Amino acid sequence: MTESKRIGILTSGGDCAGLNTVLRAVVHDAAGRGWTVMGIEHGTQGLMESPPRATRLDPSEFDGTIMRRGGTMLGSSNYGNPFAYPQLDGPDLDRSGEVIAGYKALGLDALIGIGGDGSIAILNKLAEKGGLNLVCIPKTIDNDVSSTEVSIGYDTAVEVATDALDMLQPTAASHDRVIILEVMGRDAGHIALVAGIAGGADVILIPEIPYRIANIVKKIRSIQASGRRFALVVVAEAVPNEAGNKIVQKYAGGRSAYGGIGHLLGDRLAETTRAEVRVTVLGHVQRGAAPDARDRLMASIFGVHAVELIAQGKFGRMVAWQNRQVVDIPIEEAVAAPALVDIDGPVVRTARQLGICLGDE
């Protein structure tokens, strides 16, 4: 008979499709082992409070609609590092001790943290400081966590961006327009590149490949010369302007996020090609969609593997997908450096062979 355990689970960082599906997998597997699962609200913020904000999760909650929904039923936050927690007035505070106290107050034997590379690095630091038994699951639409071929949420985001191109193409063709689609991707161009190929883009700009406007203009002119009067351009939000500066939107509270390169590019292309240009910024639509089948499957496989790691007492590990297998790797390895697009890899090569302009030639 296996020992009964009480485990916590939290979602941290930007939400994405498939998080509720991970919760369902963990809760079902853990319940089958006779364990209790505590769902912690709003990432580490739920543990900072006294008493911690957490509720017991029951498998019956997940048999209906929740596992199919985007977002996270636990809530999440992509700011508020507990080691430098922002205050309304005054300098940032180190609240890591409160998070560790929250874990202990809940009487947890282990914690599953679902996050991107930033959140996972913070959780690992907390685990090292407080002796927490941590297992992580990678999620991010950006797919830039190292040592795993996929992170939860990426596949759905690509699907959404591809659907957007499928919907933009007929209107671009009807009006003889150049339509630019700006997609997310903080620093990595995976969504833009893959959706651009799948969605028949003529030009794809990613932060990993420097571009020149002249090369894009040349491509659009050659399309026009061939008799086709529309073009589709995909640009990743982290692509800089021609001067090399990334374009950022500032929000209330001093926070900011990438966004705006699509419109800048649109203005430049309208000036230089005389084409009629329109811009669509896809934004958070890429995060809030219902998970596709592949994300649901990966979420389930990752959730079950995380529970098994806890059963085996293997902590400080991140679940990963490599060569069609679920594996686990040391967390340090996963957060050492972001996984950017391999500019000499098969996906970039395929784009070039399809005649897609990547801006560099």
By Cβ distance, which residue is nearest to ligand F6P?
184
* Cβ–Cβ < 8 Å for 261, 239: yes
* Cβ–Cβ < 8 Å for 144, 188: yes
- The correct pick among 29, 41, 98, 142 for binding ligand F6P (CB under 6 A) is 142
- The correct pick among 141, 201, 233, 247 for binding ligand F6P (CB under 6 A) is 141
The stretch near ligand F6P (CB under 6 A) out of 64-72, 103-111, 131-139, 182-190 is: 182-190
Residue 62 vs 258, nearer CB to ligand F6P: 258
Residue 38 vs 183, nearer CB to ligand F6P: 183
Is 154 one of the binding residues for ligand F6P (CB under 6 A)?
no
**Residue 254: beta bridge partners?**
none
The alpha carbon torsion through 299, 304, 305, 308 (nearest 10 deg) reads: 160
Q: Scanning residues 76 to 135, which ones bind ligand F6P (CB under 6 A)?
A: 78, 116
- The correct pick among 184, 282, 309, 334 for binding ligand F6P (CB under 6 A) is 184
* Cβ–Cβ < 8 Å for 259, 247: yes
| # residues contacting ligand F6P (CB under 6 A) | 13
* Cβ–Cβ < 8 Å for 248, 255: no
Q: Scanning residues 56 to 75, which ones bind ligand F6P (CB under 6 A)?
A: none
Catalytic residue among 15, 29, 117, 142: 142
Is 285 one of the binding residues for ligand F6P (CB under 6 A)?
no
Is 185 one of the binding residues for ligand F6P (CB under 6 A)?
yes
CA dist., res. 236 & res. 206, Å (int): 5
Q: Supply the minimum distance, in Å, between the C-beta of residue 178 and ligand F6P.
A: 24
The DSSP symbol for 64 reads: S
Is 140 one of the binding residues for ligand F6P (CB under 6 A)?
yes
3-state SS class at 181:
strand
Taking alpha carbons only, the member of 245, 153, 219 closest to residue 190 is 153
Q: Supply the minimum distance, in Å, between the C-beta of residue 31 and ligand F6P.
A: 31
* Cβ–Cβ < 8 Å for 181, 236: no
* Cβ–Cβ < 8 Å for 62, 27: yes
- The correct pick among 258, 262, 266, 273 for binding ligand F6P (CB under 6 A) is 258
